[in-house]
């Protein structure tokens, strides 16, 4: 798989729905039910961040859910890439990017959404064949105006903004020509997950899936 092909696969994941849930899973035993609620609500692409000891097991559980496309976020090292792939992740997401991470993802054949914020980082990622990139942290990096400005000199790059994105500002990001989808955690509130309120989560997912882009 060439770098361009890998990036296109990542773009295809982003095109599945306007929102990719960014999930911090503390209990893998609830992961499959959480995935079912989100997929049922119309959000098939799911990013499980590697921020908890349960994350890899959660990916394994979610990978069994029909219609779901589970990925791993917060990939920081080549070892994270390998572990995510072995757990069943179909795509990977990084908060920032190094050449070692890109090389590891290509070797593992794990489509990658590499993190970039300033224009220089975005250009470096483009030189490696990354036609779609994560814009992170979106709001702290200038938000919609910054992303719109980057699009002028870099029309070849499309973005997946996360970090401070909410139901309130998601439409502004999705209205940009260089935004494919957004990532957010609001569709799976911690209290709803802890209570097993899958109906509420499915409702939030349906609301997010209906956002125009």
Please list the active-site residues.
47, 134
Of 48, 58, 35, which is closest to residue 205 (Cα–Cα)?
35
Per-residue tokens: 101: 């991470």
Of 20, 12, 35, 46, which is closest to residue 158 (Cα–Cα)?
12
Contact 146, 153 (CB under 8 A): no
First to last CA, the chain: 29
d(CA 155, CA 170): 20
């Amino acid at each position: 798989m060439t770098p361009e092909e890998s990036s296109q696969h990542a773009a295809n994941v982003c095109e599945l729905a306007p929102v990719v849930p960014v999930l911090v899973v503390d209990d893998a035993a609830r992961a499959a039910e959480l995935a079912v609620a989100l997929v049922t609500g119309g959000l098939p692409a799911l990013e499980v961040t590697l921020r908890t000891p349960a994350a890899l097991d959660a990916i394994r559980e979610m990978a069994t859910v029909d219609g779901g496309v589970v990925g791993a976020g917060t990939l920081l090292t080549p070892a994270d890439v390998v572990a995510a792939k072995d757990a069943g992740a179909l795509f990977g997401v990084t908060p920032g990017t190094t050449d070692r991470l890109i090389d590891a993802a290509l070797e593992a054949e794990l489509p990658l959404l590499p993190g970039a914020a300033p224009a220089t980082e975005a250009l470096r990622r483009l030189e490696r064949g990354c036609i779609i990139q994560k814009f992170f942290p979106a709001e702290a990096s200038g938000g919609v105006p910054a992303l719109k400005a980057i699009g002028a000199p870099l029309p070849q790059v499309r973005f997946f903004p996360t970090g401070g994105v909410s139901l309130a500002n998601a439409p502004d990001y999705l209205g940009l020509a260089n935004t494919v989808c957004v990532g957010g955690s609001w569709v799976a509130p911690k209290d709803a997950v802890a209570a097993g309120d899958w109906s509420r989560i499915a409702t939030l997912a349906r609301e997010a899936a209906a956002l125009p882009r």
